[in-house]
A and B are shown apart, each in its own frame.
Chain A
């Protein structure tokens, strides 16, 4: 089988397989937020950035190549990842202590994983009103990181296209498929795949909240690194 070197370790891969997939299959963690095993690579969050043959590439969107030397878990790459996480934190409004997703949020877990101790940059404090119109689901856009997983799941799996992005640059934002702009006026359902795919705390189910006590939440007991690698095994 063909193989490449990831931080000096040989990683086997099949033709067409991305660096990220091959690495995770071989038990090496490369972080990601916008990547999902059920969808084609998106390549927008850039957390999976690695140096392959001296060039920076997205591990999720770059097919592995025989003999490549890939650097991932190095101070340089992890420093860039920490910077990208800081960027995601300052562009939105992320108040972890009051967020229901706290402890089970991938962005927060990666913040811990990559030892992000401060937000470093000036906060943007964008104005992003919440949408509580739907009977079953609350949308808190303040936490959106534009991974487009809900957009893709709703369009490609649910067949509804409930979500889309509009605006451009730093003003890019999520909208729903209704003239009123309200989720209640779409055909969204709490059973959609899109309702269960948000890696952060935008799409929240109403009803019981904060049900899991601190200490027992997803990333309280295991790191995101080991949980993502376990997913790969199952």
Chain B
């Protein structure tokens, strides 16, 4: 049987050994252990807790937090369909139904023989080549009915994943437009040598001149962050590269890490040089775990070339190394303090701020958390100087921005533009026509209607972490917003009341409207919830959660209003639907088993 885990034994102890029995490694230990057994059984959790000298309840708390960790048997094959709106537009629901039908199982449930489970997961960052899925954590893109048929057959034959056709796992970069960063050809170490030649203070001054702002969306000045960490008291400072690219519709970091890993690691080392940091982490989202082996190889090559380790580039006192830490399906870990909690092996709950990570971060040490793209860009500044960098883009947004373009267009993929490019120009370049709306910045970003397409991508106008999802005239913007509301409800960490309950309530209201039970009173409640989430949430997840609803209610209100059945109040409870279970149990579906038809017949 596939569901019976082996008794915790030598293999588990090997994993614990490999991670030095460190409690900070708990999440990594759980991920590695699950790879062995397919799930984390209660005795396994007890064993890990004892070995790490942690309360068992804490281990259970961590295991229960991350979507990709299973505390119940989940099958030999664990299939997760990516469920971003772009996957939905490409027909992921039909494909999932087809696979469930072929394997005789229900979504979200384990097959009776323990062989396979099929469920949905948040955006896997393959929107340019969807619909996509993860099988035991490995990404497969460009799903079609033919591919689904083949996958069903492979699962039925119990073919090991390593023997599945290699082309399934091929992920394209789809780079469509290059500018300063993607055009850069640089020998590893070149930028670092230039920064070292300027000495630490000179390099930081160059960064200040560049006006580089964080590419994760918030736009905080990178040099200010670095200087704060450098000036913060405390030894053993930390540089973290935030590669937890979970924002639906974003996939630029995937491409940077696949094709330009040296730029990213060099950027981290440049940050370490400025800050005086000794330890670095790449926090890689679980969905991208297929990149880990090649990233480890790049790190090894850089160590051999004296670009990492002790005495980097022969500089006495320049010691820095990087480890890769894997996430396990939790969007909230993109928030920097939640990410740090996760790095420490805990639940990814955002901390109270202040204090900020630059003074009290990883294990209380001064910590810089930067986005993948931000770090890669620092190489340009080291090579060509801060002034040259500041001269591009717009007044408040220096440099270029990578856009992850998906949805209704001819050529989805990665586009690099100088800041200040208009939405209309981008739409033209990617071959979009009859565009009704663009969601810029992902689920938490802005929904722009056609009358706003002259607006520009820049911090001072339309800020973005890079997602750019296009919806043409055939799309229903209410369904777009509803999918994002579902996303936030699924990803809320549950720490604070407004976000935990508010996102679930908002989901309920949107589903009520979708089911045809909406009334004017619901729109008033939605309005009220939007405001409370914005005002009262503990972190950015909760305060951004109502954005898609606020924007679409304002700009596409008819999409909501045509769903209303009453101008007053309508209950969500549907008496006939409540009898569905009884009908299923009695195997009846005749008119007499339905309330409404029964009443109508009587009339």
Residues in A133-192 with C-beta less than 8 Å from chain B: 145-146, 155, 161-172, 175-179
* B369 interface contact, C-beta 8 A: no
In the A-B complex, list the 8 residue pairs whose CB atoms are closest, starting with the nearest: A166-B64, A164-B57, A161-B55, A172-B494, A87-B501, A177-B57, A169-B492, A170-B504
Beta-carbon contact of A122 and B505 below 8 Å: yes
Which among B295-303, B397-405, B532-540 touches the partner chain? B532-540
With A41-B352, A121-B505 in contact, do A163 and B57 touch (Cβ < 8 Å)? yes
Beta-carbon contact of B504 and A124 below 8 Å: yes
Please indicate the chain A residues that have their CB under 8 angstroms from the CB of B108 in the complex. none
Please indicate the chain A residues that have their CB under 8 angstroms from the CB of B490 in the complex. 169
Please list 23 pairs of residues, one from A and one from B, whose beta carbons are closer than 8 Å in the complex, sorted by A's number: A44-B497, A46-B496, A46-B536, A49-B536, A83-B528, A87-B497, A87-B502, A87-B505, A90-B505, A124-B504, A145-B497, A163-B57, A164-B55, A164-B60, A166-B57, A168-B67, A169-B504, A170-B489, A170-B492, A170-B501, A171-B494, A177-B55, A179-B46
Beta-carbon contact of B352 and A61 below 8 Å: yes
Beta-carbon contact of A167 and B504 below 8 Å: no
Beta-carbon contact of B497 and A165 below 8 Å: no
Beta-carbon contact of A175 and B352 below 8 Å: no
Beta-carbon contact of A43 and B57 below 8 Å: no
Beta-carbon contact of B538 and A179 below 8 Å: no
Beta-carbon contact of A166 and B500 below 8 Å: no
Beta-carbon contact of B57 and A169 below 8 Å: no
Please indicate the chain A residues that have their CB under 8 angstroms from the CB of B503 in the complex. 169-170
Q: Mark A82-94, 1 if CB is under 8 A from B, else 0.
A: 0110011011000
* B65 interface contact, C-beta 8 A: yes
Beta-carbon contact of A172 and B500 below 8 Å: yes
Beta-carbon contact of A80 and B347 below 8 Å: no
Residues of B within 8 A of A (CB): 42-43, 45-46, 55-58, 60-61, 63-67, 330, 347, 352, 489-498, 500-505, 508, 525, 528, 532, 535-536, 538, 572
Beta-carbon contact of A165 and B492 below 8 Å: no
With A170-B504, A179-B43 in contact, do A43 and B352 touch (Cβ < 8 Å)? yes
B496's partner among A43, A80, A178 (CB-CB below 8 A) is A43
B532's partner among A83, A155, A167 (CB-CB below 8 A) is A83
Beta-carbon contact of B494 and A168 below 8 Å: yes
Beta-carbon contact of A167 and B64 below 8 Å: yes
19 extra A-B contacts, CB within 8 A, seeds A44-B497, A45-B497, A83-B528 = A44-B538, A49-B535, A84-B498, A84-B532, A87-B497, A87-B502, A88-B501, A90-B501, A121-B505, A122-B508, A124-B504, A145-B497, A146-B494, A164-B60, A164-B61, A166-B63, A166-B64, A176-B57, A177-B57
Beta-carbon contact of A91 and B501 below 8 Å: yes
Residue of A nearest to B491 (CB): A169
Please indicate the chain B residues that have their CB under 8 angstroms from the CB of A41 in the complex. 352
* A56 interface contact, C-beta 8 A: yes
Tell me the bound Cα distance from A49 to B497 in angstroms.
Answer: 11
Please indicate the chain A residues that have their CB under 8 angstroms from the CB of B500 in the complex. 91, 146, 169-170, 172
Please indicate the chain B residues that have their CB under 8 angstroms from the CB of A43 in the complex. 352, 496, 538
Residue of B nearest to A63 (CB): B354
B56's partner among A61, A122, A172, A177 (CB-CB below 8 A) is A177
Tell me the bound Cα distance from A155 to B500 in angstroms.
Answer: 24
With A56-B535, A169-B492 in contact, do A178 and B61 touch (Cβ < 8 Å)? no
Please indicate the chain B residues that have their CB under 8 angstroms from the CB of A47 in the complex. 497
Please indicate the chain A residues that have their CB under 8 angstroms from the CB of B538 in the complex. 43-44, 46, 58
Please indicate the chain B residues that have their CB under 8 angstroms from the CB of A164 in the complex. 55, 57-58, 60-61
Beta-carbon contact of B505 and A44 below 8 Å: no
Please indicate the chain B residues that have their CB under 8 angstroms from the CB of A172 in the complex. 493-494, 500
Tell me the bound Cα distance from A204 to B65 in angstroms.
Answer: 27
Residue of A nearest to B504 (CB): A170
Tell me the bound Cα distance from A176 to B42 in angstroms.
Answer: 13
Q: Quote the shortest CB–CB distance from B328 to chain A (angstroms).
A: 11
Q: Quote the shortest CB–CB distance from A117 to chain B (angstroms).
A: 16
Beta-carbon contact of A165 and B501 below 8 Å: no
B61's partner among A122, A145, A162, A165 (CB-CB below 8 A) is A165
Tell me the bound Cα distance from A58 to B61 in angstroms.
Answer: 25
Beta-carbon contact of B57 and A161 below 8 Å: yes
- Output the residue of B42, B58, B536 with the most chain A CB within 10 A: B536
With A84-B536, A121-B505 in contact, do A166 and B60 touch (Cβ < 8 Å)? yes
Tell me the bound Cα distance from A27 to B55 in angstroms.
Answer: 40
Please indicate the chain A residues that have their CB under 8 angstroms from the CB of B497 in the complex. 44-47, 84, 87-88, 145
Q: Quote the shortest CB–CB distance from B121 to chain A (angstroms).
A: 13
With A61-B352, A172-B500 in contact, do A178 and B56 touch (Cβ < 8 Å)? yes
Q: Quote the shortest CB–CB distance from B498 to chain A (angstroms).
A: 6
Residue of B nearest to A166 (CB): B64
Beta-carbon contact of A175 and B495 below 8 Å: no
Please indicate the chain A residues that have their CB under 8 angstroms from the CB of B60 in the complex. 164, 166, 175
Residue of B nearest to A55 (CB): B535
Beta-carbon contact of B61 and A175 below 8 Å: yes
Q: Quote the shortest CB–CB distance from A119 to chain B (angstroms).
A: 12
Please indicate the chain B residues that have their CB under 8 angstroms from the CB of A56 in the complex. 535-536
Tell me the bound Cα distance from A84 to B542 in angstroms.
Answer: 14
Q: Mark A6-50, 1 if CB is under 8 A from B, else 0.
A: 000000000000000000000000000000000001011111010
Q: Quote the shortest CB–CB distance from B341 to chain A (angstroms).
A: 13
Tell me the bound Cα distance from A213 to B361 in angstroms.
Answer: 51
Residue of B nearest to A170 (CB): B504
Please indicate the chain B residues that have their CB under 8 angstroms from the CB of A46 in the complex. 496-498, 536, 538
Please indicate the chain A residues that have their CB under 8 angstroms from the CB of B46 in the complex. 179
Please indicate the chain A residues that have their CB under 8 angstroms from the CB of B504 in the complex. 91, 124, 169-170
Beta-carbon contact of A80 and B501 below 8 Å: no
Q: Quote the shortest CB–CB distance from A206 to chain B (angstroms).
A: 22
A168's partner among B55, B65, B502 (CB-CB below 8 A) is B65
Tell me the bound Cα distance from A170 to B347 in angstroms.
Answer: 15
Please indicate the chain B residues that have their CB under 8 angstroms from the CB of A168 in the complex. 64-67, 330, 492-494
Q: Quote the shortest CB–CB distance from B127 to chain A (angstroms).
A: 23
Residue of B nearest to A160 (CB): B55
Please indicate the chain A residues that have their CB under 8 angstroms from the CB of B495 in the complex. 44
Tell me the bound Cα distance from A61 to B495 in angstroms.
Answer: 14
Tell me the bound Cα distance from A5 to B538 in angstroms.
Answer: 24
Q: Quote the shortest CB–CB distance from B71 to chain A (angstroms).
A: 8
Tell me the bound Cα distance from A84 to B352 in angstroms.
Answer: 19
